[in-house]
Structure 1
Amino acid sequence: MKKLLPLLFLIIISCSKNEESDTNNAFGKLVDRDGNTYKTLKIGTQTWMLENLKTTKYNDGTPIPKYAFSDKWNSIAHYQWANTNDLNNVFSEELPSDYYGAMYSDLVLDSGKLAPTGWRIPSKKDFEILENYLKTNGHSGNEGKALKSKTGWIHSGFGTDAIGFNGLANGYVDVLGTPKASEIISNWATTTKTSDGFFRIVINLVHDQNTISYSENIINIGVGVRCIKE
């Protein structure tokens, strides 16, 4: 029996090291000024939020005005919730109003105070780095599908959620302030604008596409946000 003790000791040490490794690779979290808690994950050299931002306050605690139907969208800094009416009946349960996160107007995005402290709104380059990570880690040609959630998309638009990014089809807000295209497309803002300042680069995951697309959208629309760690 004494001869087995060293072997048993080695097994215990080996298990402890594996548990430590798993802990180091565990999901992180961050908390915004509203007290909302988000999962985060290090993906390659980056650390991303795994949920859409839904804060109703800037990171200095100042409230962000909520859009009302009588307002002119983007005339002042506004937020509103994405459409959760489930017109395509892709969910069996009723969705909470903040399920897709908040949709923010351009003035909110440009405030420099939207992202939680220590985080920021990503640039187009940040998303391209994420896209390249997916390409070189077994998802070439299916980068968008790997980011999409497994539920919440119409037709055959479901993703594999291969790295836990859980890209929900949050849609967007049109220039009149109407939320549209939930269950059809994921739109996320970047800090990157065209040289004239009238168009913002937006990241798109579309229900019938497996790749990521980048579009120049006029600044009057509203979009969701995924933050990246500084």
Structure 2
Amino acid sequence: MHTSFIVFNIIGLIIVIIAAVRIGMKISKASKQESPDAQNKISYDDCLAKNNSSFKYGTFTDTRDGETYHTVKIGNQIWMAENLRYKAEGSFAPKNDEENVKKFGRLYTWTSALGIPDEYTEQSPAKDIEMYHQIKEDNFQGIAPEGWHIPSLKEWEELMNNFPDNSNGIELRSECIWQHPGEDSVGFFALPAGYRFNNGTFCQFGKRARFWSKDEYGKTNAYRMSITENSMDLEGVYRSDAISVRCVKNV
């Protein structure tokens, strides 16, 4: 009886140890999945160097803050090949870490991206009919530097038309940072900066890229371009969310 009790306890201890090891492995795996650097062994610097040698990038310097950006022609459009970094009211560093800004740019609420009052987060700019018509015009500048503007929904659609209808955005995703490297076949260099909810929570850093359109989507939303490792689409999100901005050159 005593021997059986000892054996029973030993077996129970072994079961507990095995369970603890498995839980530890799951936690370790989850931690690695949350870290972009652990997901992809292609370094940012190597990725950028490869793009610099593969594409005929132009450059543009924002006179407001001296920030210089790569630019790239895709189809008939010229895009910034980096996320906007201009520090405006209503903008945030990805994951609330200013060291992320150089690579990932800043995150902007919709009203910040358009450079309009915060009151239009939950109501249409049509309240100010002059402002409304300005936003509807081609090349509406918003927070973009001089000579550039916030893309319209139509301009995002034009960019997407360069790729197959079933594209998941692999042509736009960078080869670095993402868990599954993109092809970045046009030099757009989309990086997963994630986004910020109005309550201050940062989400999907290293997993998702979102970019504003100037166009409204209902009363409290606006269109955004979204790129994940599995999809590319245009849909509405809350204007109070803070996401990335890519600028397109005036024509």
Q: CA deviation at 1:181?
A: 0.6
Shift in alpha-carbon separation, 1:113–1:124, aligned structure 2, 3 A? closer
| Structure 2 counterpart SS, 1:47 | strand
Per the alignment, residue 85 of structure 2 pairs with 54
Based on CA coordinates, which of the two structures has the bigger radius of gyration? Answer: 2
Distance 2:145 2:248 in 1: 10
| Structure-2 separation of matches of 1:177 and 1:227 | 25
Which of 240, 243, 250 matches 1:223? 243
1:200 paired residue number: 222
Distance in structure 2 (CA, Å) of the matches to 1:47 and 1:98? 21
Q: Which residue of 1 aligns with 2:114?
A: 110
Question: Does residue 1:189 correspond to 2:218, yes or no?
Answer: no
Distance 1:120 1:147 in 2: 20
Code of the residue aligned with 2:222 in structure 1: it is R
Higher helix share: 2
Once residues 95 and 175 of structure 2 are traced to their aligned partners in structure 1, the CA distance between those partners, rounded to angstroms, is 19
Q: Contact between 2:110 and 2:212, CA under 8 Å: does it hold in 1?
A: no
Where does residue 91 of structure 2 map in the other structure? 79
Distance in 1 separating the partners of 2:109 and 2:101: 18
The normalised TM-score by structure 1 is 0.68
Structure 1 residue 113, shift from structure 2 partner? 3.8
- The residue type paired with residue 81 of structure 1 is A
Q: Is 1:151 aligned to residue 176 of structure 2?
A: yes
Shift of 1:107: 2.2
Helix, strand or coil: the match of 1:134?
coil
Q: Which amino acid aligns with 1:51?
A: E
Shift of 1:143: 5.2
Gaps spanning 5+ residues in structure 2: where? 1-54, 116-140
Q: Over residues 33-73 of structure 1, what are the superposed CA-to-partner deviations in whole Å (9 max), with x where a residue is unaligned?
A: 111100101111110000000011xxxxxxx23xxxxxxxx
Secondary structure of the 1:83 match is helix
SS in structure 1 at match of 2:177: coil
- Paired residues of 2:114 and 2:150 also in contact (CA < 8 A): no
- Of 193, 196, 207, the match for 1:173: 196
**% of aligned pairs identical?**
28
Distance 1:227 1:148 in 2: 17
Q: Which structure 1 residue ranges, 5 or more long, are not aligned?
A: 1-24, 57-63, 66-77, 86-94
Shift in Å, 1:101: 0.3
Normalising by structure 2, report the TM-score: 0.63
Alpha-carbon distance in 2 for matches of 1:215, 1:202: 6
